[in-house]
Amino acid sequence: MLPQASTEKGAGMADDDESIAALLAELSVPQKAALCLGSDFWHTAPVSEHGIEAVMMSDGPHGLRKQTGRSADAGLRASEAATCFPTASALGCSWDTDLVRQVGAALGAEARAQNIAAVLGPGVNIKRHPLCGRNFEYFSEDPFLSGRLAAAMVDGLQSQQVGGCVKHFAANNQETDRMRVSADVDERTLREIYLPAFEHVVTAARPWLVMCSYNKVNGEYASQHRWLLNDVLREEWGFDGLVVSDWGAVHDRVAALRAGLDLEMPPQLGVSDRAIVDAVAAGSLDEAVLDRAAGRVLRLVLRARDRRPADMDAAAHHAVARRAAAQSLVLLKNDGVLPLTGMAGRTIAVIGEFARTPRFQGAGSSQVSPTQVDVPLDALAAALPGATLRFAAGYLIDGDPPGPTTDAGPSSGSRPATDAGSATDAGSATDADAGQAADAGPGGDLVAEAVGAATGADVVLVFLGLPPAEESEGYDRGHIDLPYAQTSLVERLAKAVHGTPIVAVLCNGGAVRTSTWDHAASAVLECWLAGQAAGSAIADVLTGAVNPSGRLAETLGLRMADCPAYLNFPGEEGHVRYGEGVYVGYRGYDALELPVAYPFGHGLSYSSFSYRDLRISQAGSADAGDLAVTVRCTISNTSDRAGHEVVQVYVADPAAAVARPPRELKAFAKIGLEPGAEQEVMFTLTARDLSYWSALHRRWVLEGGEFRVCVGASSRDIRLSAAITVPATPPPLPLSGISTLTEWLTDPDGGQALRGALGTRPDGRPGGILGSEELLAIIGNMPLATLAAFPGLGVTTELIDTLVAAVIERRAEATLGTPQRW
């Protein structure tokens, strides 16, 4: 029998280990095999004879999706009512770990109230390309920001004794062919871009579960990828929880078990369990491997047992959702029309079906049945007493007539259509064209009605967004434009209202192109899919009850073709090559010096802030593994309104041995400042923050020398910067016959061995081939083994063997075998 759950952390784990070991000794191989698969779509397997109950997992990252009815059913059926929090695409823009922790705790409380052992989220896959249909479920294009926010979410969930399950491990950055495609990514790119968010969550927040992805990584299914699941996740990062498959990601149960996948969901009953039992009987699967996996499932059961009951406080959680949404909205543009104050007695036109029929969440496994939904139109009416609101739908959400700004994108699985050839790019469509096209289509009456409502108004609020069918789990988008019915409506309104300010309010999961129409708007508020309270949060920000403080977690490019991953998305014939390498998002836009619509980190406030007094100091050293670079600066609120600033720290290594992005986010803080107040902020950077992943050395390398530390309000709005010099000893080169003569000579050990072996001439010059500068310049790039093939140079295979042995000996007691400390 399993004991009751231990409450003390350290001692408890040890007790649990003992009782799990004792129980495993009592279980038969078929019982242990059964534990390694679920018993239905959402539950682990019970072993009633031994008092082991089944525990339940549920989606999702943005609100609980506990399915009702028969749980053996698959599919996306109705779920219990739950608070729909902002999606990760919105929360990512909060840049606020405390806030995300509170959302996680509220979600955890709801899960506990529903007796859920673990919530299947958060998703920390990197937004490699704006077309990914599931981008609304992911935080950012940046691994540092994604990792910090996801760890806060897991902290919050687990503070309620509900497991977090970080997903989808790894390199699941598209929906096209997601069940099979091989993400072909070099190790440096994996280490610097696609793995760090997982690494941070695992090491800092210790999630109970990690979910492997469907796709292959460099030719091997993630579900049976030993390097990912065992070598990196467990051995390097010390993960001690349960690895669960994405739903249906297992192809070979025994291979997956050997590679480190503990739990298959949903179960292939009678197939996977039998395969495990047979493999143990045949001696091809070590029973110890089965014991470890079954033991981890038992630990999840123990962790979920006997938790205190929790309340589902719907009203309080709605308030959390509203606060979270309000802190996440990003004010992209504002010529001063916002906030809307003094509106009593004025007329506001509210245009756009999305104002009345809000879109606040995405489709697929994260879809929630909300406890209530705040409608923007109603929330605005309540927030603007005395103002007259005139509503007109303007367009049908799903009824876009064909138009020039939207390419007919192919369905998932084929190459996406480009967004070139738009009205602006082609310069061919005039306002009149736009108007005529809209008038001629099925939306003509709606446009006329919207123009009527806007005419004579003091302000025009126009709600725009992506129709739900354009983005979802399961497929990628075909283009990044808003429906033509909407963009043409903006142009038409601008023409009709002659200078009356137009405020665009955007609701979309993935990024949309703004550059073709936002010249017609005085202000643009990007709301993403901000959960069930989005309507109130939008009213809060538009009226100034909340000062906007969201910052973009991804770059909004001018054209899709500018996206660094453009030429390599979504791949073909079963492979997607991550050809842009580490140049994802702003790393690529900045390296290519491309203009963008709105840069990573950008977002306006109704306050203004100034930055001063950058001070940087160093303690410890890279060589000793305890380098700490302290960055301090002072931020002042120079306005008469309280507000939040997101202070961003980027690091650059301008002269590096490998190609590095011009700047990379390595720290941030969101601080609240009263009018006129100032605050010193402090950040600590470690050696890892300055390092790159060396493919040559297969480790992080901090290249000693000069770095630039930049502090700013976006990746393109650097307010302060300074150079620092950080000393570090280069790692010894692995020297062999294939290393060049120059590599041998520049390495301290190799150079000494080679010079010693070739001796000195009577005139004091180096012996053999080392004596001629001219010759050295010509043969310096040749491997020693090649030189050995040329007679008369004095390099032989025997000499190379001697040199390699000498270097190995010299380094034997030196640092080479020392494990890396960061």
Task: Kindly state the smallest distance separating residue 134's Cβ from ligand BGC, in Å.
Answer: 8
* Through-space distance between the first and last CA atoms of the chain, rounded to whole angstroms: 41
Q: How far apart are CA 641 and CA 547, in angstroms?
A: 8
Q: What is the dihedral of CA 578, 330, 637, 95, to 10 degrees?
A: -50
Answer yes or no whether residue 508 interacts with ligand BGC by CB under 6 A.
no
User: Which of positions 205-244 make contact with ligand BGC (CB under 6 A)?
Assistant: none
CB 345 within 8 A of CB 387: yes
Task: Kindly state the smallest distance separating residue 168's Cβ from ligand BGC, in Å.
Answer: 6
Complex with ligand BGC: residue 69 or 345, whichever CB lies closer: 69
Complex with ligand BGC: residue 246 or 540, whichever CB lies closer: 246
Answer yes or no whether residue 476 interacts with ligand BGC by CB under 6 A.
no
DSSP letter at 10 equals H
CB 688 within 8 A of CB 820: no
Q: Hey, what are 439's tokens?
A: 């008038």
Q: How many CB atoms lie within 10 A of CB 738?
A: 12
Complex with ligand BGC: residue 211 or 665, whichever CB lies closer: 211
Q: What is the dihedral of CA 708, 712, 716, 717, to 10 degrees?
A: -130
Does a cis peptide bond (omega within 30 degrees of 0) precede residue 318? no
Q: How far apart are CA 307 and CA 673, in angstroms?
A: 39
Answer yes or no whether residue 120 interacts with ligand BGC by CB under 6 A.
yes
Q: How far apart are CA 560 and CA 420, in angstroms?
A: 8
Answer yes or no whether residue 167 interacts with ligand BGC by CB under 6 A.
yes
Answer yes or no whether residue 59 interacts with ligand BGC by CB under 6 A.
yes
Answer yes or no whether residue 246 interacts with ligand BGC by CB under 6 A.
yes
CA distances for 703 relative to 185, 676, 693, 721, angstroms? 23, 41, 11, 20
Residue of minimal CB distance from ligand BGC? 365
Answer yes or no whether residue 102 interacts with ligand BGC by CB under 6 A.
no
Answer yes or no whether residue 611 interacts with ligand BGC by CB under 6 A.
no
Task: Kindly state the smallest distance separating residue 109's Cβ from ligand BGC, in Å.
Answer: 20
Q: Are strands 459-465 and 609-619 parallel, antiparallel or unpaired?
A: unpaired
Task: Kindly state the smallest distance separating residue 365's Cβ from ligand BGC, in Å.
Answer: 4
Angle in degrees, CA 691, 712, 604, rounded to 5: 135
Task: Please provide residue 728's backbone torsions phi and psi, each rounded to the nearest 5 degrees.
Answer: -160, 140
Complex with ligand BGC: residue 74 or 657, whichever CB lies closer: 74
Q: How far apart are CA 737 and CA 786, in angstroms?
A: 8
Answer yes or no whether residue 338 interacts with ligand BGC by CB under 6 A.
no
Answer yes or no whether residue 247 interacts with ligand BGC by CB under 6 A.
yes
Q: Could you tell me how many helices (H) and strands (E) the chain has, helices first?
A: 26, 28
Task: Kindly state the smallest distance separating residue 467's Cβ from ligand BGC, in Å.
Answer: 22
Task: Kindly state the smallest distance separating residue 248's Cβ from ligand BGC, in Å.
Answer: 7
Task: Kindly state the smallest distance separating residue 707's Cβ from ligand BGC, in Å.
Answer: 38
CA distances for 173 relative to 136, 340, 412, 517, angstroms? 12, 39, 14, 28
Complex with ligand BGC: residue 334 or 365, whichever CB lies closer: 365
Q: How far apart are CA 777 and CA 817, in angstroms?
A: 33
Complex with ligand BGC: residue 167 or 559, whichever CB lies closer: 167
Task: Kindly state the smallest distance separating residue 470's Cβ from ligand BGC, in Å.
Answer: 19
Task: Kindly state the smallest distance separating residue 84's Cβ from ligand BGC, in Å.
Answer: 16
Count of residues that interact with ligand BGC, criterion CB under 6 A: 6
User: Which of positions 382-421 make contact with ligand BGC (CB under 6 A)?
Assistant: none
Q: How far apart are CA 302 and CA 20, in angstroms?
A: 9
Answer yes or no whether residue 169 interacts with ligand BGC by CB under 6 A.
no
Complex with ligand BGC: residue 73 or 398, whichever CB lies closer: 73
The helix-helix angle for 431-440 and 444-454 (nearest 10°) equals 120
Task: Kindly state the smallest distance separating residue 264's Cβ from ligand BGC, in Å.
Answer: 13
Length of the chain: 822
What x-and-dash track marks residues 297-336 binding ligand BGC by CB under 6 A? Answer: ----------------------------------------
DSSP bridge partners of 476? none
User: Which of positions 358-377 make contact with ligand BGC (CB under 6 A)?
Assistant: 365
Q: How many CB atoms lie within 10 A of CB 229?
A: 24
Q: Which residues contact 553 (CB under 8 A, 6 or more apart)?
A: 89, 92, 93, 95, 127, 139, 140, 141, 142, 145, 600
Q: Which of 44, 56, 38 is nearest to 115 (CA)?
A: 56
Active site residues: 246
**Residues near ligand BGC (CB under 6 A):** 59, 120, 167, 246-247, 365
